[in-house]
Amino acid sequence: MHGKILAARYEVLEPLGQGGFSHTYIATDLQNGSRCVVKHLYPASDEPRFIQEATRLFKQEAETLKKLSDNPQIPKIIDYFEEDKQFYLIQELIQGQTLTTQLQPNQPWSETQVIELLKDCLKILEYIHHLGVIHRDVKPDNLMIRQQDKKLVLIDLGSVKEFNPQQSHLISQTIAIGTRGYMPLEQIRGKPRKNSDLYALGIIAIQAITGRHPMDLEEDENDVLIWQPYAKASPFLTEILDKMIQPNPQQRYLSATQVLEALNPTKTDAPIAKIPNRPPLSPPEPKLAVLERATPKNIQTTPQMSSNPNKFSIWLKTPTAHNVGFALGIGIVSTIGVYFLGGQENRAKLAKIEETRLQLTTAFNEHRYEECFTQSQAPEILEIGLPEEQRSEIMVKCGLKSASVLAEQLKFGEAIKKLNEIPLAQIPKDAPYATEITKHADQWAQSLLEQASQIYTKEGNLTEALEMISQIPASSPVQESAESLSIEWTAETRRLEAILKKAELALEYQGLQEAMNYAREISHSTTTDYWLLQAKNIAEKAQGGMKKGETAQTYRRPNPSNNNSSNPPKSEPSSNQGLEVPDDFR
């Protein structure tokens, strides 16, 4: 290939690498003198099915690169053509080194470096997943560190798989593609998902923070990598990485967006600060002050006692003095008593408020979210007089966390229902946690729609799928899609059930060719896994009858005018004896 000029424009300079499907070269674009990459389809096997699959993947990479070309962290496609029955793809040359060169054995990265790596990669995965693409081969060799800005670039999109991001994060069964050590179990089984890419990225992060290749790490009895003893990682990062590499995809983060949110926690995720135990606040003790009252000089209310002590002593013994003293004593005692009782009542109320606030915050910090949420709205709590702003904030935080626990258990319908229990009328519109409620509701509605899609496409369970869709709020952005899917699934089920019954009836009366035709009709009119499996089963049964040497017959319905049950329905011989199952069902 050296020196060869392709499409009268691209001159091949030197080899760059090779994979199972293609050889890669560095070339010069003769139109502008720039360097580029030439990918030449060059399957490693001459087996027809292998070549067919390689050609499909090669063309798919070109189309995918076109689709993703707006992202600066994905190589741009320059050209794509066929010449002399050979396929070529021309794309942007990324100057830099692969991430593999930076992941040296026994040289672990710092936690800060690992978090930056995660954030950079997650933004790329978030972008491609949003456009309905999973990579399926995320590994250090496919992450380039661009020389000019040190940004990561995701390369080698020859293994990508497309899906409908509005319907399901599950991808239909396919050939297992990927790299050992970075592939999760579901991808090895040929059933990749969006979060299969997240698993691979989690493994890369663990390789970085431990300085160990994933193949050098052992697994526990649950097939989870044991990596923590070899890393200096905080509980914060450990929890995130553990969730990214869960063997069960349903226990992982469902999207790159969720991991980014975990790496950038919001205020509502922060614990409510505990109020230290301290004596209840109390007002200052009342102080009595003796006030001197001025009186008119010409009015003498009492004898002049200060001028002559003897006269004052004599006056104290008089009935008038007794009455004045008694009245004055009662007044002083009453005043002190009322003031003291009022201060005591105030201290008790403040203490009760403090105790209630401490009770609610303790319930939150101990993860008793449902108890906290219920108590914060109880009538007796409202009567205590906890400031409304504080009570509302605690109530919303507890309600959000209670709903989040349900969502983590994949109970998205119940999580949405819990959000609806939060009284929005009591929350200020400008409160930061008000937007959190809407954001979570939208995310969980999307996840609920994905669950419903999985139930229908994998199990054909229309009733359960429609029940899930009914739990999506009318205000959700996915409501319109949900309604469309409900109509589509219902119509498809009724139509294909009718065809399936005809196929089964044809098999019963040995109409093998007719049954095969019905199976083909089903397979050509749906992409739903469940119905494709039903079609395959019909085709295999028809083939089984043919292999037994039975003559394929065209099914003919019984004559309804003939009620003689002793005469079985007749069928005419068919010329299709020995017909094989079409490639559709292999």
CATH number for the domain harbouring residue 72: 3.30.200.20
Average pLDDT over residues 309-323: 53
Please write the tens of the pLDDT for every residue from 64-95: 778 887 899 998 888 888 888 788 889 899 99
Angle formed by the axes of helices 388-408 and 412-420, nearest 10° = 170
Report d(CA 429, CA 432) in Å as an integer.
8
Residue 296 falls within a domain, yes or no? no
Average pLDDT over residues 371-380: 84
User: Does residue 258 surpass a pLDDT of 90?
Assistant: yes
User: 512 and 553 in contact (C-beta within 8 Å)?
Assistant: yes
Report d(CA 43, CA 58) in Å as an integer.
10
Check whether 39 is labelled as a binding-site residue.
yes
Report d(CA 314, CA 305) in Å as an integer.
10
pLDDT at 563 (0 to 100):
42
Indicate whether 421 and 278 sit together in one domain: yes
Indicate whether 88 and 220 sit together in one domain: no
Last residue of a domain, one of 61, 92, 123: 92
Indicate whether 453 and 502 sit together in one domain: no
- Print the domain residue range for 512: 494-585
User: Does residue 362 surpass a pLDDT of 80?
Assistant: yes
Residue 453 falls within a domain, yes or no? yes
pLDDT band at 100 (very low <50, low <70, confident <90, very high): very high
Report d(CA 199, CA 288) in Å as an integer.
74
| Overall residue count recorded for the chain in this entry | 586
- Checking DSSP bridges between strand 96-98 and strand 143-146, what pairing results, if any? antiparallel
Please write the tens of the pLDDT for every residue from 187-234: 877 778 889 999 999 999 999 999 999 988 998 888 889 999 999 999
Q: What is the DSSP letter of 422?
A: S
Last residue of a domain, one of 72, 92, 112: 92
Indicate whether 274 and 261 sit together in one domain: no
Indicate whether 144 and 242 sit together in one domain: yes
Question: Locate tokens 């910090």: which residue?
Answer: 365
pLDDT at 352 (0 to 100):
78
Indicate whether 499 and 533 sit together in one domain: yes
Residue 300 falls within a domain, yes or no? no
Indicate whether 261 and 274 sit together in one domain: no
pLDDT at 572 (0 to 100):
41
Single pTM value for the model: 0.46
pLDDT at 188 (0 to 100):
78
User: Does residue 570 surpass a pLDDT of 50?
Assistant: no
Query: Is the pLDDT higher at 438 or at 277?
Result: 438
Report d(CA 258, CA 58) in Å as an integer.
31
User: 395 and 369 in contact (C-beta within 8 Å)?
Assistant: no
- Rounded to 10 degrees, the C-alpha dihedral 179/185/186/188 comes to 40
Report d(CA 395, CA 26) in Å as an integer.
61
Report d(CA 425, CA 454) in Å as an integer.
36
Q: What is the total count of domains within the chain?
A: 4
Residue 452 falls within a domain, yes or no? yes
Residues 6+ apart with CB under 8 A from 128: 68, 71, 74, 134, 135, 154, 160
Q: What is the DSSP letter of 426?
A: G
Report d(CA 22, CA 87) in Å as an integer.
10
> Where does residue 415 rank: exposed (0-12), middle (13-18), buried (19+ CB within 10 A)?
buried
Strand partners, 162: 133
583 catalytic residue (yes or no)? no
Cα torsion angle, 529, 533, 539, 544, sign: positive
pLDDT, averaged across the chain: 77
Report d(CA 271, CA 364) in Å as an integer.
8
Q: What are phi and psi of 178, to 5 degrees?
A: 155, -170
Average pLDDT over residues 115-137: 92
pLDDT band at 259 (very low <50, low <70, confident <90, very high): very high
Indicate whether 40 and 103 sit together in one domain: no
Indicate whether 217 and 364 sit together in one domain: no
Tokens of 290: 């003796």
Indicate whether 104 and 82 sit together in one domain: no
Please write the tens of the pLDDT for every residue from 169-193: 444 444 456 688 898 888 877 778 8
Distance of CA 359 to the CA centre of its chain: 32
Q: What are phi and psi of 172, to 5 degrees?
A: -60, 155
pLDDT at 578 (0 to 100):
37
Strand partners, 124: none
Tokens of 527: 């992409």
Least confident segment among 2-11, 70-79, 380-389, 563-572: 563-572
Report d(CA 450, CA 482) in Å as an integer.
10
pLDDT at 251 (0 to 100):
93
User: Does residue 445 surpass a pLDDT of 80?
Assistant: yes
Last residue of a domain, one of 236, 265, 294: 265
Indicate whether 54 and 126 sit together in one domain: no
Query: How would DSSP label each residue in 280-316?
Result: PP-PPPP---PPPPP--TT--SS---TT-HHHHHHHH
Indicate whether 88 and 137 sit together in one domain: no
Report d(CA 381, CA 385) in Å as an integer.
7
User: 428 and 451 in contact (C-beta within 8 Å)?
Assistant: no
Tally Cβ neighbours within 10 Å of residue 410.
Answer: 15
Runs of H (alpha helix) within 4-159: 48-67, 111-130
Residue 56 falls within a domain, yes or no? yes
pLDDT band at 162 (very low <50, low <70, confident <90, very high): low
Residue 484 falls within a domain, yes or no? no
Residue 291 falls within a domain, yes or no? no
Question: Locate tokens 């790490």: which residue?
Answer: 217
Residue 470 falls within a domain, yes or no? yes
User: Does residue 127 surpass a pLDDT of 90?
Assistant: yes
Domain with 233 in it: what CATH number? Answer: 1.10.510.10
Residue 540 in 3-state DSSP?
A: helix
pLDDT at 107 (0 to 100):
94
Q: Which of 70, 120, 137, 269 is catalytic?
A: 137
Average pLDDT over residues 447-471: 89
